[in-house]
Chain A
C-alpha cells in the first residue's frame, strides 16, 4: 500500500509564474489536507478537501492560491503569480476521515521562487 505521494519533490519558479503541486492520497483515503512550512517554522494548515469539495480553506491566502481534489486524479494546489515569500515546503496529508486516528504525510514539495 503506497503512502501519500507528492510531486514534484522540488520545484523552481521565477516570480510571476504558476506553480502546480500534486498530491495522491493513500489508497482508500478521501480526505486531503495541505500544509505549508516556511523555513525554520512549524507547519501551518492551509486547506482541507474531500473528493470534489473544499471543506475548510481558512488557512489559505485569498488571492493567488487555489486547491482542488477532483473525482479522478490527484489533489492539486495551485499558486498563481508566485512571489519570493511563497518559497516553502508544501506538505499534503490524507486520512480516512476528518480528525481520524491518523493523518499520513507525504514527502513534501519544496518550492523555490527565484
Chain B
C-alpha cells in the first residue's frame, strides 16, 4: 500500500531553536516529494519540491533532504520563529497512479517564545 508516514506527530520548540521533521514513504515509483506548510485554518502552501535525483533543497530557513534509496525525507527548520507554528505535510507524487498526490498526516509544530 502506498503510504506516507510522518514523525513526530507534534513538536514543541523554543523560539530560535532548530528542529527536524521526518517523512518515510512507500510510494513507488514517485515523481517528486514536496513539503507543505499549513497554518491553522488555511490551505497548504508549498515550501520545497524535490525529484528523486535531488538530495537537498532549501527555501530560506527551511531545508529539505531526500534519500530515495531508503525512502526517507526530512525537513529542517533553522532558528525557528513564532510564525513557524503550523502543520508541516510531506506529500509524494505517485508516478504510476497518474501523478496522484499521497499526503502524510503532518507534524504539528508549536514554537514558544
Contact = CB atoms under 8 A, between A and B. Distances in A.
Interface of A: 4, 33, 35, 41-45, 48, 55-56, 91, 93, 98-99, 101-108, 110
Nearest to B87: A42
Contact of B43 (A45, A48, A102, A105): A105
B106 A45 contact: no
Contact of A98 (B49, B99, B105): B99
A98 B45 contact: no
Interface size class of chain B, counting residues whose CB lies under 8 Å from the partner chain: 20 to 34
B44 to A, nearest CB: 5
Nearest to A107: B43
B93 to A, nearest CB: 6
Interface of B: 31, 36, 41-46, 49, 89, 93, 95, 98-106
B103 A99 contact: no
A56 B98 CA distance: 9
Contacts of B31: 99
A105 B42 CA distance: 9
Among B42, B44, B45, the one with the most A-chain Cβ atoms within 10 Å of its Cβ is B44
Contacts of A101: 49
